Amino acid sequence: EKKSREKRGNVPGGVNEIDLNDLKDESHPLHDLVRESLAGLSEKENGASYSFVRINSATKQVVAGMLYKVNLDVKDSNAKEVQCNLRIWERAWLNPSKEIDFDCNNSKKFKFTRARRSVDDAEQPHPVLVGGPTPIDVDNDDKVKELVRNSLVSFNEQDGNSFELHRIVAATKKVVAGVLYEIKAEFRSTGESKEIVTCNLSVWERPWLKVDNSQTDVACDNAKKYKFTRSRRSVDAEQPHPVLGGPTPIDVEKDEKVKNLVQNSLVSFNSKDGNSFELHRIVEATKKIVQGVLYEIKVEFRSTGDSKEVVTCNLSVWERPWLKEESSQTDVSCNNDKKYTFRAKRSLIYDHRRRAEDDEDEQRQLMNQRDTLARHEALFHKFQLKFGRAYHSSMEKSLRFRIFQNNLAKIEQLNEREQGTAKYGITQFADLTPSEYRMKTGLWRREFDENHISNPIAEIPNIKLPKSFDWRDKNAVSEVKNQGSCGSCWAFSVTGNIEGLYAIKTGQLEEFSEQELVDCDTIDGGCAGGLPDNAYKAIEQLGGLEYESEYPYRARKSECHLNKTMVHVKVKGAVDLPKNETAMQQWLVQNGPISIGINANAMQFYRGGVSHPWRPLCRHGNLDHGVLIVGYGVSEYPLFNKTLPYWIVKNSWGPKWGEQGYYRVFRGDNTCGVSEMASSAVLA
């Protein structure tokens, strides 16, 4: 039974290893934390210099904040290589926000804190390597989506595969001899198995090659590997991705500018040598930014005479609008060996009034763009000052500014879509891509074993529900506690449940020991995480729980010191609640607080109000935190004819977090997975 329970995957508060392959990317958020820690270590040793060599292993864990543990090699001032264990406890809502411990094999140990830094005071991080990988916002980059779709088509042509895109996880690009894209994606089988395979795509694009200008290597976790090549496509086919400084294809069917240029050229063409031609077809066109804009257009002109001769001409139109004289130069070369050059100050088709109107429209658009850019730059500057952002280089700063601009658009979209009372704004994550943000917040997938032995389903009473209910008002909920840097949320969730049941049964509110579970529960992982249903079983096997005062909390795993003569409450099993929030309400009112697992992604920067996150931000399947439901209620807004039902959730991150340690989350649509793992002990 123990084995089947341990197979349930990533557990609430559990330790999650960080892939060393991901850490090869210098832009990985952990590198910033390591560099900041080394800078602090150097300051602690009176200016001694420590330089980064390599990371050997790393883990992260959702505790009251985020806990990173890193084994790394560094060089000291004498260039001697030293191995250190680095522990970083990050709590973004506090100042100082980081607690850092170094324990090195040269017998040196240091402990210090780091506050948020101003731009002026921040030490400069390690510079970005020229030619190094640049992170890509996979949610907004159409090029990456196109590459993945193309790769999936080729992937499905191999071995009878039938997969669809499940998720693009992360992507980088690097300028080599061309552009190299490294993309991590998940493909899902379209068959009954719904198998999900994780694949690493390496796409090397060299657009100047006529044959095999795109090479894709695919390596998947089902041990399958493939290699595909793609040749250059015609302009009529899907347009290739433009190269910076190179020609950009133009849709000749829709581009009015190209049509105007061709008409102007045709007028000048017919003024030479008695020509009399009309436009037959625009074949293709490109434009390139040079000193101005250079248009290369391939057209067919047809004679208006009896011959109806069709000649193919290449038009090269060079526009430099800042020149008063000869602002446009057109070279025409045709397959009847005729060549012409024309120069013009103004359009030969549009009159001066139309051109003036167009100029006014362009000026208005330009001014709006400049106003928006200035506003974004001002917001970005304030963001840097507030959160102490100091970037590696001007290139990194430019990249972060573009991501920041994209996130401003997302913030606007989130506020438009928010269904609760939460407001979204610029946070410390405003310069991160979605994949980087997920890395910071620890959003993990949680999988369940089919062979897991479930608890019996709780009997739901058929009672009429009050509009609101709160066990805090009935002296069945203890004070908010703080799990600290130990991943013991599961233990706090379970003791909170038992405290409530015991208070309702006896009329006495007591606090029971989480530390007993951390030390003595051999089914769960102590500070490395656990599951409530495992904890219920462990309490039954241990014989019960001592009081908190008798076995106090230390936020670290130690030897078990349980005194069975001091046990005050016993458990004889557990029940699972249905995944139905009305049934959960009925059970809560009749019996007591409920232990649940929840996706903590929306909780890290929660300040108050009814939280109803946009579903993609807080998916119900990714449970990583154990908490306690103690009641429910409804917020009413008569002016807007709107009501917001919510759960009252007790957290274990101390009373300074959230609403005095509590979280109000929307009730009724399984927000953040509140009904996915609801359970309770059964007292003996």
Q: Which residues are catalytic?
A: 489, 625, 651
- Judge contact between 281 and 299, C-beta under 8 A: yes
DSSP string, 482-500: B-TTS--HHHHHHHHHHHH
Bridge partners, residue 82, by sequence: 74
CA 406/CA 433 separation, integer angstroms: 9
Burial (CB count within 10 angstroms: exposed 0-12, middle 13-18, buried 19+), residue 530: buried
Angstrom CA distances, 470 to 147, 475, 589, 667, stand at 52, 10, 9, 14
Name the token pair of 117: 């830094």
CA 56/CA 72 separation, integer angstroms: 5
Using alpha carbons only, give the angle 380, 384, 386 rounded to the nearest 5 degrees.
115
- Judge contact between 73 and 49, C-beta under 8 A: no
- Judge contact between 422 and 612, C-beta under 8 A: yes
CA 11/CA 484 separation, integer angstroms: 17
Name the token pair of 186: 């998940």
- Judge contact between 75 and 41, C-beta under 8 A: no
Give the single-character DSSP code of 19: P
CA 273/CA 336 separation, integer angstroms: 13
254's CB contacts (< 8 A; 6+ apart) are none
The size of the chain, in residues, is: 684
List, in sequence order, every beta strand (DSSP E) within 18-64: 51-63
Angstrom CA distances, 78 to 50, 75, 124, stand at 9, 8, 22
405's CB contacts (< 8 A; 6+ apart) are 376
- Judge contact between 674 and 562, C-beta under 8 A: no
Using alpha carbons only, give the angle 111, 116, 121 rounded to the nearest 5 degrees.
100
Burial (CB count within 10 angstroms: exposed 0-12, middle 13-18, buried 19+), residue 177: exposed
Residue with tokens 């001697």: 80
Given the DSSP bridges, would you call strands 662-666 and 610-611 parallel, antiparallel or unpaired? parallel
DSSP string, 299-332: EEEEESSTT--EEEEEEEEEE-TT-SSS-EEEEE
Name the residue type at position 284. E
Among candidate residues 225, 242, 145, the one with its CA nearest the CA of residue 185: 145
Among candidate residues 392, 390, 384, the one with its CA nearest the CA of residue 126: 392
**Which helix H or strand E contains 352, and what residues bound it?**
helix 352-387
Given the DSSP bridges, would you call strands 163-176 and 134-135 parallel, antiparallel or unpaired? antiparallel
CA 24/CA 174 separation, integer angstroms: 13
Establish whether the linkage from the previous residue to 249 is cis, with ω within 30° of 0. no
CA 356/CA 190 separation, integer angstroms: 57
Angstrom CA distances, 42 to 67, 121, 279, stand at 22, 15, 73
Residue with tokens 């100042």: 95
R_g of the chain, CA atoms, integer Å: 32
